[in-house]
Amino acid sequence: MINLFSLDRIYHPATSVLRQLGGMALMFFSSIFYAFRRPWKLNYIFKQMEFIGVKSLGVVLITGTFTGMVLAIQTYYGFRKFGAEGLVGATVALSMTRELGPVLTSLMVTGRAGSAIAAELGTMRVTEQIDALIVMALNPIKYLVTPRVIASFFMLPVLTIISDFVGIVGGWLVGVKLLGINEGAFINKMIKYVDLEDIYDGLIKSACFGIILSVVACYKGFYTAGGAEGVGRSTTESVVIASVSILVADYILTSLMF
Amino acid sequence: MKINRLSPELKVGIVVLIGFIILFYMSFKISKFGILSEKGYELQVYLENANGIDPKSPVLIAGVEIGRVKKVKLDNFKALVTLIIKEGVQIPSDSTIAIKTQGVLGDKYLEIIPGNDKKILAKGEMIKNVKAAPDFDEMFSEVSTAAKKFGNTIGEFQGLLGDKEKTSIKKSIENIQTITVEFKDIIKENKQSINSMITNADDTLKGLKKIVNDVEAGKGSLGMLVKDDRLYMDAKETMGALKSISKDIEEGKGLLGKLVKDDSLYNDAKDTVKNLKDLTDGIKKGDGTLGKLAKDESLYIETEKAMKKLQKGADGLSEMTPISILGTIFSFIF
């Protein structure tokens, strides 16, 4: 029988992956646990919401709009071959609400806010600020991780719905105004084929992605070791792991939902 | 207060508000009938095959959406479909319902064809008349058998026409062609004379008209003939002479008399007619190629059958068009 204690002490890629997975899950549950414990520091949460949500707005707007626009062009040249240009609107709207809105928004937020979280917490760790918090009897999880997880959980759906909307508007601009698709068909097919579930499921997905990216970034930053170099490494790792996990989780969630 | 001094709460609040406004706007746009859909009355219908009919499939009258499918469930091996019809839309109780296909994606919807009954369907009632939807698999097999039979018929027909018949038909057509060409040439050559002939005929007719007018008026000898009694007396005398001549013929005197009285000419004619009759009898009985062509009804019946089937198949095929378009789409995409 394998001795789990000795397994824990050897460094091996396999055990390392398992250890990290467990650590992330623990961090997620404890952050949720502390979220329901007094005192509630609402202003910390709002600060993080501003940082993760409001400040990512520009990036999300640009990616959303251009994604919608390029989708319209691509599907237009495809659909035109059999005279179904009217379906471009429905295709753009469905792709944006179900898939591209949530995933691209989460990836952009991961790149912008996730990396920042990892770097910030990593720097706090290597400069022993986290140790100082513990010494001051402040729970670092409650103080640092919980606000970020909650903020991501709430702000990602908001960013996603904005991204969906500007994406559809971008698609409309390119499709109707530039390529001259019949506007009535564009709008009506969109309304016909897009259901409320498509939008809501996309938002649920993006909330899950928000939790994934914030937990991964917090974990990687929180357990940084090795000085400035370590901070750089955990920043990179947090972005890579969060992006990959988001795409994997996207498949799982989508197959569960639709 | 400068814009960058806004508290984080306010900034977050503004963004969240924008998000909510967009969410509500999009939800409202998409829900169409959505929340209002519950304000309607339910109707039910049994379908033999509800393939492609899902909850939310539209229900149309004359292409206008008047309701949606609420649910589809199995009941006694038939599909029991519950519809929600908009309040204010009244459907006669003898209306017919049919499954139809729409758009390139082959979406199915229900079409209600209103009846003439004064009675209106009330909540929870059943639409009894269902127009059967074509089953594509069945149709395909029918089309293929029809095509096979048609092919067989053509084969039989080809067998019936041997090489000999073919050459003779060919020859006949060639002959007809030559005749036509010759006829055309004749007409061309004699165009002038034909024209003058017509002109002459025209003149003659005019003259005749004049003569008739004169006769009417009793002018000239013909007019006198018509108007004068003396001719009658002369005619009577002539008749008497003719009578005596015919009597001579009756007795077999002279050449004319022989012609009338001798049987041999008549017998010759009779034999000829008999031969002709034998020939046509042969044709009637179905001997020889010509007879077969004339008498064998199976060819005609087979052809008719095949045509009917083909027609059916073509109807089916035209209904299949959306699906084949969808096929094209898929093959294009993948």
- Give the minimum alpha-carbon distance from A61 to chain B in angstroms, rounded to a whole number: 12
For testing the chain A interface, which of B26, B328, B330 should be mutated: the one with the most A CBs within 10 Å? B26
Return all residues near B41 (Cβ < 8 A) that are at least 6 apart: B84, B85, B87, B122, B123, B124
**Cβ proximity of A153 and A210 under 8 Å:** yes
Q: What is the mean pLDDT of chain A?
A: 90
Cβ distance of A161 and B328 shorter than 8 Å: no
Cβ distance of B30 and A165 shorter than 8 Å: no
Per-residue pLDDT of chain B (334 residues; tens, 9 = 90+): 455 677 888 888 889 999 999 988 888 877 655 544 557 888 888 888 888 787 778 888 888 888 888 888 888 888 888 888 888 888 888 888 888 877 656 678 888 888 888 888 888 888 888 887 666 677 778 888 888 888 888 887 777 777 777 788 888 888 888 888 888 888 888 888 888 888 888 888 888 888 778 777 766 666 666 666 676 777 788 888 888 877 877 776 666 666 666 677 678 778 888 888 887 777 777 666 666 666 667 777 777 787 888 777 777 666 666 666 666 666 666 6
* Closest by Cα among A223, A216, A18, A188 to A106: A216
Provide the chain A residues 73-92 that lie in CB contact (below 8 A) with chain B: 78, 81-82, 84, 87
Which of B25, B31, B332 is facing A81, going by the closest CB pair?
Answer: B332
For testing the chain B interface, which of A163, A196, A200 should be mutated: the one with the most B CBs within 10 Å? A196
Q: Residue B35 has what pLDDT?
A: 46
Cβ distance of A50 and B333 shorter than 8 Å: no
B23 interface with A at CB cutoff 8 Å:
yes
Chain B residues inside the 8 Å CB shell of A84: 104, 329
Q: Considering all CA atoms of chain B, what is the largest pairwise distance in Å, rounded to the nearest integer?
A: 149
Task: Give per-residue pLDDT as tens, A5-16.
Answer: 666 666 677 778
Tokens of B93: 């109780």
- Give the minimum alpha-carbon distance from B22 to chain A in angstroms, rounded to a whole number: 7
Greater pLDDT, A183 or B298: A183
Question: Rounded to an integer, what is the distance from CA B46 to the centroid of its chain?
Answer: 34
Cβ distance of B30 and A196 shorter than 8 Å: yes
Cβ distance of B16 and A87 shorter than 8 Å: no
**Cβ proximity of A152 and A253 under 8 Å:** no
A162 interface with B at CB cutoff 8 Å:
yes
For residue B322, the tally of other CB atoms under 10 A from its CB is 16
For testing the chain A interface, which of B29, B30, B102, B331 should be mutated: the one with the most A CBs within 10 Å? B30
B327 interface with A at CB cutoff 8 Å:
no
* Closest by Cα among A105, A214, A198, A216 to A153: A214
A54 interface with B at CB cutoff 8 Å:
yes
Cβ distance of B328 and A195 shorter than 8 Å: no
- For B116-179, the DSSP string reads --S-B--TT-EE-EEEPPPPHHHHHHHHHHHHHHHHHHHHHHHHHS-HHHHHHHHHHHHHHHHH
Cβ distance of B26 and A157 shorter than 8 Å: no
Greater pLDDT, B252 or A68: A68
Chain A residues inside the 8 Å CB shell of B14: 54
pLDDT > 70 in chain A, percent: 95
Q: How far apart are CA A87 and CA B34, in angstroms?
A: 22
A38 interface with B at CB cutoff 8 Å:
no
Cβ distance of A161 and B12 shorter than 8 Å: no
Strand B107-113 with B96-102, pairing = antiparallel
**Under DSSP, is residue A206 helix (H, G, I), strand (E, B) or coil?**
helix
**Domain-by-domain residue ranges, chain B?**
31-133
**Cβ proximity of A239 and A233 under 8 Å:** no
- For B308-323, the DSSP string reads HHHHHHHHHHHHHHHH
pLDDT reading at A209 higher than 70: yes
| CB pairs A-B closer than 8 Å | 71
Q: Residue A257 has what pLDDT?
A: 83
Chain A residues inside the 8 Å CB shell of B26: 161, 164-165, 199
Strand partners, B79: B47, B74
A40 interface with B at CB cutoff 8 Å:
no
Provide the chain B residues 51-90 that lie in CB contact (below 8 A) with chain A: 56
B245 interface with A at CB cutoff 8 Å:
no
Q: Residue B236 has what pLDDT?
A: 80
Cβ distance of B22 and A84 shorter than 8 Å: no
The answer to whether the complex's ipTM is over 0.85 is no
For testing the chain A interface, which of B6, B7, B10, B12 should be mutated: the one with the most A CBs within 10 Å? B12
Angle of helix A146-172 relative to helix A101-109, nearest 10 degrees, comes to: 130
Strand partners, B102: B107
Phi/psi at A187 (nearest 5 deg)?
A: -70, -45
B22 interface with A at CB cutoff 8 Å:
yes
What CA–CA distances, in Å, run from A204 to A191, A197, B59? 21, 10, 31
Which of A49, A161, A196 is facing B12, going by the closest CB pair?
Answer: A49
B324 interface with A at CB cutoff 8 Å:
no
Please report, for chain A, how many H helices and E strands are present, in that order.
13, 0
Burial B22-36 (b: 16+ CB within 10 A, else e): bbeebeeebebbeee
Q: Which value, to the nearest 10 degrees, does the dihedral of the CA atoms of residues A117, A29, A132, A46 take?
A: 50
Please report, for chain B, how many H helices and E strands are present, in that order.
10, 8
A204 interface with B at CB cutoff 8 Å:
no
Cβ distance of B9 and A46 shorter than 8 Å: yes
Q: How far apart are CA A126 and CA A114, in angstroms?
A: 18
Q: Amino acid identity, residue B314?
A: A
**Under DSSP, is residue B108 helix (H, G, I), strand (E, B) or coil?**
strand
pLDDT reading at A61 higher than 90: yes
A113 interface with B at CB cutoff 8 Å:
no
pLDDT reading at A155 higher than 50: yes
Cβ distance of A161 and B31 shorter than 8 Å: no
